[in-house]
Amino acid sequence: MKLILFIWRQQGADDPGKLVRYDTSEISAEMSFLEMLDVVNEGLVKDGKEPIAFDHDCREGICGTCSQVINGVPHGPQERTTVCQLHMRQFKDGDKIYIEPWRARAFPIVKDLIVDRSSLERVMQAGGYISVHTGCAPDANSILIRREDAETAMDAAECIGCGACVAACPNGSAMLFTAAKVTQFASLPQGQTEAKHRVCMMTEVMKHEGFGSCTNHYECQAVCPKGLKTSFIARLNREFLKALDSPEMPESFSGGFLNRGNPSR
Amino acid sequence: MILDGRAPIGPIETQWERHCRDLKLINPANRRKYKIIVVGTGLAGASAAATLGELGYNVETFCYQDSPRRAHSVAAQGGINAAKNYTGDGDSVYRLFHDTVKGGDFRSREANVYRLAALSNNIIDQCVAQGVPFARDYAGYLENRSFGGAQVSRTFFAKGQTGQQLLLGAYSAMLRQIRAGNVRHHSRAEMLDIVLLEGEAKGIITRDMVTGEIRTHAADAVCLCTGGYANVYYLSTNAMGCNVTAAYRAYKKGAYFANPCYTQIHPTCIPVSGDYQSKLTLMSESLRNDGRVWVPIKKGDNRPAGEIPVVERDYYLERKYPAFGNLAPRDISSRSAKEVCDEGRGVGPGGRGVYLDFADSVRRLGENSVRQKYGNLFEMYERITGENAYAQPMRIYPAPHYTMGGLWVDYNLQSNIPGLFVLGEANFSDHGANRLGASALMQGLADGYFIIPHTIANYLAVSGPGKADLDNPEFAKAREDVNTFIAKILAIQGRRTANDFHAALGKIMWEHVGMSRSEKSLKTALRLIPELREQFWEDLKVPGGNADLNQELEKAGRVADFLDFAELMTRDALSRDESCGGHFREEHQTVEGEAVRDDETSSHVSAWEFRGGHEIPEMHKEPLVFENIKPAVRSYK
C-alpha cells in the first residue's frame, strides 16, 4: 500500500520542530508499524539524509521504549497495543498518518520522536520498592497471599513505564503510572510497612517533576497498552487519604494536590 | 595453555559454603572507598548493582536504554526455576543440578551449576519479599508449572511476564540504592572500551548517546552484565539494541571468549513473514505444555489445518520422544522442526513453519481455561499474524534466542583479566551447550544477588581501593582509540546502510552457522564473513556526525563488532568437532539424526584469546571433569 506520512522532526530540545511529509510505497500489511518506519529510514539514509530518530527496542510490546502518537492517539489506533506491536493491516492504502512524539511538560523532546522520560524514573526512586536487603528474606511460602490480591498486584505490575498515560492526559498526569506501583505494593502484605511513606513520597516527586493530576478524563486507561485501569488511581487516592495526618506526610503537602489538575493552567 | 576454573575441591554440596568461608571480606566502613562499575542493567546488572549498593560500595551503572527497566531481561515470558519442591514431586537441589548439567549436554562446569541450583531457592525468597507477584493458588501458596526439558514442576511464574516482574524487582532494588546515594546511574550510555591498568580492569570508556560525548570512568573493578550475542543472526528474539560490543571489546583487550559457537535456537517463535522483518517474536515455550506440535505427513499438503485428519498428521515430537513429547529440550525441538521443514512438510507461507495446536486442550479444558493460562500470548500472536489461535493452530518456527557462550570466567565469575567480572548471559559458565527453559532468569539473579557480592570483595580486598586515576595516560589513549574508530566509520561515506550489512551477515550466519553446521558450511562462512566485512569498511553509509543522537552511528559500531565476532564464532564451531546441545555438526550424528558427542576429545571449554587484527585467535582449553554426574548419551526418548 501507499501512505502519506507526516512526521515530527526536531533536531534538539531547544530547536523548533515541524511536521514533515514523506510519501511511501510498497508497504505491506504484514509489516509492523516500526518496520514501516525502518523502510522509510533506509530510504532516507541511502539518499544521504538523516533518518527519523525514534525510540524502540524489544519490538514485542514489553520493554516500554516505543513512544509515538499516531493520528493523535498515543500508541495508535489498536487497543492494548504498543506501537511496536501495531501492524500495517490496521491501515489502508492512501491513508494519511500523523506521527508525533509524546507531548508532556515532564517529557522534554530529545530529538524527533524521542523524549526524555527520566521524570518517571525519579517518581519510582521516591518509593517504588519494598526495602528488603538481599539475603534476609524468609521462605517464600511463609508469606501467604490471597489469590485475588496477588492477581490485583500482578495486574497493576504489568505497567511497562512507556508514559502513554501521561501523553494522553490533558493534564499531563502520571497518576496511572504512579497508581500502578502504589497499588501493586498496597495489595501485598510485604508492602504494608512502607505504604504511607511510599504514597506520600511518590506523589510528592510526581508533583515536583511537573506532572499534573487526575481530573477523571479516563484518557490514560483508553491508551494504556497493558490495560491498566483508572480504578488503580482510586486506590492511589485512598492510600493517599489513609496517609493524611500521618507522620509520613511531607510538610510540603498542603493537602490540595489530588485535584489540582493541569499545573500549567 | 590449560585454563583452570578454580572451582573448590571437596564434596560438591558444600563447595560454595566452604569457598565463601575462605573469601576475603571488606569491612563495612571501608566499602565506600571502593568504586565498582556495572555495565548493563538487566537481571544480572541490576541485581548486582542493588546488592553491592546495599553493602555500601560506591557503584556506577550504565545502560544503553533510556531506563534500566527496559533491559531485555524484561521480555522473558515463561518463568524461573527453583528447587523448592513445593509441589512434592521429588525435586531437589541435586535434581535441578542434574537436569541442568544434562540439559547442557555435559559441557558446563559442574561446580558452577551446583551452586546455581542451590541458590535458586534464595532467589524465589528474595523476589517474593520484594513484592514480585508470582502466581498463587487459592490457599495463597505459590504455584508451579513444568517447563521444557523437566519432569517436575519447579517453575515459578508471573503470568507470561516473569522476566518483566523479576527485572522490575531488581530495578526497584537498584533505584532504592540510587535514592540512597550508593548507586549512580547513566542511561543512554554505551560502553565502547575497557581500560586496563597494569593488566587489571580499572575503568571503561562510554559514549553519551544523546550528546556524543566520549567519557572516561575509573573504578576499582568492572562488572560486565551486557547480555548475549544472538543478534549476530540479525533476526533473533533479542531486542534491537542487544549487541556484543562490550564483550567483544573486552575480548580485544585480552579477555578470553569461551564457547562462542553455543547458541540456542528457540523452537516456539512466530515465523518470518517477509524481507522487511526486523526481529522475531518468541511465544513462551510454556505453550508446549498444552499445545501439540505437528506437520502433515504428506509433503506439500496445502489444506487448511482443520481439514487434515488426525491420521494424516505427524506429531513428530510425541512420535520421536515419547517420554518428553512436546516438552523435549529446545535444541532437539528446534532441530526436529527444521528437519520436517527441510523434508518439505513445513506449513504456512514459504513452508518454514510447524503447527502448535491447542484444539485438544480446548476440548479437554475448555477455551476459558486455555485463555486464562495463555490469553496474553494468544493475543500477541493475533496482533502479529492476524490469526486466531483458538480457532486454528499457531504456526511456529525456531529463532535464535539465547547464547550460552560468553566471556570466560572462573568460579568467582572473574575473567582472566583481574578485576573484570562477567555476569549473566554475558559469561559462559552455567548452561553448557544448551540452556534449559526458565534457567536464564535464575542464572542472572544468582550471579547478581548472591555470588558477585562475595567474590568481588575477595578481589577488592587484595587489590586495594583507589588505584585507578583518570589522569593515567591509558584513559586518554583508550578514549582516543574510540574517537578514531568512530571517525573511521563516519569517514567511509559509501552507499549501503548498517542495517543492510547486518542483514547480510545474519543470512550468512543463519545459513552456515545456524541450527546445523558442517565443515563445509563453516568454511564457506569463513570465506564470506571477511568479504562482507571488507565491503562494510568500504561501502558503509552513516549520515550525520558524532556530536548528537545518531542511531545509525550506534548501529554501525555494533555491526562492525558483529562482523568480527561472527568469524570467531564460526572458527569455534569449526574447531568443535562434535555435536553437543545447540551445536549440531552434521558429521556427528546417529542414523536417526541425533547428536553425537565426543567426550574423548571435546570435553572442554574452548576459550579464545585475541591475537590482534584478524590473526587467528589462540585457543585455550579448560578441561571439564564430571565427578558427580557421569556423562551419558542425552536421551529424551
Q: Are the beta carbons of A221 and A176 closer than 8 angstroms?
A: yes
Same domain, residue pair A140 and A81? no
Catalytic residues of B: 330
pLDDT at A66: 98
**DSSP type of residue B540:** B
Cell numbers for B57: 560500595
Residues 387-446 of B with CB under 8 A from A: none
Same domain, residue pair A92 and A18? yes
Confidence band for A265, pLDDT divided at 50, 70 and 90: very low
Residues 230-269 of B with CB under 8 A from A: 237, 239-241
Q: Which carries the bigger pLDDT value, residue A254 or residue B343?
A: B343
Same domain, residue pair A79 and A149? no
Query: Is the CB of B274 less than 8 angstroms away from the CB of A124?
Result: no
Q: Which of A136, A47, A30, A41 is nearest to A87 (CA)?
A: A30
Does A254 reside within a domain?
Answer: no
Maximal CA-CA distance, chain A:
63
Tell me the nearest-neighbour CA distance from B596 into chain A, angstroms. Answer: 36
Closest partner residue to B176 (CB to CB) among A39, A55, A129 is A129
CATH number at residue A49: 3.10.20.30
- Whether A256 has a pLDDT exceeding 50, the answer reads no
Tell me the nearest-neighbour CA distance from A140 into chain B, angstroms. Answer: 4
pLDDT at A107: 98
Query: Is the CB of B126 less than 8 angstroms away from the CB of A141?
Result: no
Same domain, residue pair A103 and A123? no
Same domain, residue pair A123 and A104? no
pLDDT at A253: 63
Cα B73 off chain centre by: 9
Domain finish residue from A110, A126, A150: A110
Judging contacts by C-beta atoms under 8 Å, the chain A residues touching residue B144 are none
Domain finish residue from A68, A90, A110: A110
Residues 465-524 of B with CB under 8 A from A: 495, 497, 499-500
Does A253 reside within a domain?
Answer: no
DSSP string, B185-212: EESSEEEEEEEEETTEEEEEEEEETTT-
| Number of folded domains that form chain A | 2
Query: Is the CB of A118 less than 8 angstroms away from the CB of B67?
Result: yes
Query: Is the CB of B179 less than 8 angstroms away from the CB of A126?
Result: yes
**DSSP type of residue B496:** B
Query: Is the CB of A145 less than 8 angstroms away from the CB of B548?
Result: no
Does A83 reside within a domain?
Answer: yes
Range(s) of the domain holding residue A43 = 3-110
A40-50: per-residue pLDDT in tens? 999 999 999 99
CATH number at residue A226: 1.10.1060.10
Cell numbers for B407: 566471556
Q: Could you say which residues of chain B have pLDDT below 50?
A: none
- Whether A261 has a pLDDT exceeding 90, the answer reads no
Go through the domains of chain B in sequence order and give each one's CATH number. Answer: 266-401 (3.90.700.10), 473-596 (1.20.58.100)
Same domain, residue pair A202 and A89? no
**How many whole angstroms separate alpha carbon B237 and alpha carbon B72?**
10
Closest partner residue to A65 (CB to CB) among B65, B279, B548 is B65
Closest partner residue to B75 (CB to CB) among A58, A110, A138 is A58
Query: Is the CB of A62 less than 8 angstroms away from the CB of B75?
Result: yes
Domain finish residue from A88, A110, A132: A110
Confidence band for A258, pLDDT divided at 50, 70 and 90: low
Judging contacts by C-beta atoms under 8 Å, the chain B residues touching residue A86 are 383
pLDDT at B633: 84
Least confidently predicted of A84-93, A255-264, B14-23, B579-588: A255-264
Same domain, residue pair A18 and A90? yes
- Cα distances (angstroms) measured from residue B526 to each of B377, B521, B522, B572, B575: 39, 9, 6, 11, 12
pLDDT at B582: 94
**How many whole angstroms separate alpha carbon B507 and alpha carbon B400?**
12
Same domain, residue pair A104 and A125? no
DSSP string, A136-173: -PPPGGGS---HHHHHHHHHHHT-----HHHHH-TT-B
- Whether A255 has a pLDDT exceeding 60, the answer reads no
Q: Which of B340, B244, B341, B330 is nearest to B287 (CA)?
A: B330
Residues 304-363 of B with CB under 8 A from A: none
Closest partner residue to A129 (CB to CB) among B158, B164, B173 is B173
- Whether A254 has a pLDDT exceeding 70, the answer reads no
Cell numbers for B2: 590449560
Same domain, residue pair A170 and A97? no
**How many whole angstroms separate alpha carbon A211 and alpha carbon A118?**
12
Question: What is the predicted ipTM?
Answer: 0.96
* Residues 6 or more apart whose Cβ sits within 8 Å of residue A127: A194, A197, A198, A199, A200, A201, A202
Does A193 reside within a domain?
Answer: yes
Query: Is the CB of A59 less than 8 angstroms away from the CB of B281?
Result: yes
pLDDT at B594: 85
Judging contacts by C-beta atoms under 8 Å, the chain A residues touching residue B555 are none
| A interface test, pick of B175, B385, B539 with most A CB neighbours within 10 Å | B175
Tell me the nearest-neighbour CA distance from B15 into chain A, angstroms. Answer: 19
Judging contacts by C-beta atoms under 8 Å, the chain A residues touching residue B175 are 121, 124-125, 128-129
* Interface size, chain A vs chain B, as Cβ–Cβ contacts under 8 Å: 219
Same domain, residue pair A140 and A67? no
Q: Are the beta carbons of A110 and B550 closer than 8 angstroms?
A: no
A103-127: per-residue pLDDT in tens? 999 999 999 999 999 999 999 999 9
Same domain, residue pair A228 and A136? yes
A134-167: per-residue pLDDT in tens? 999 999 999 999 999 999 999 999 999 999 999 9
Same domain, residue pair A130 and A235? yes
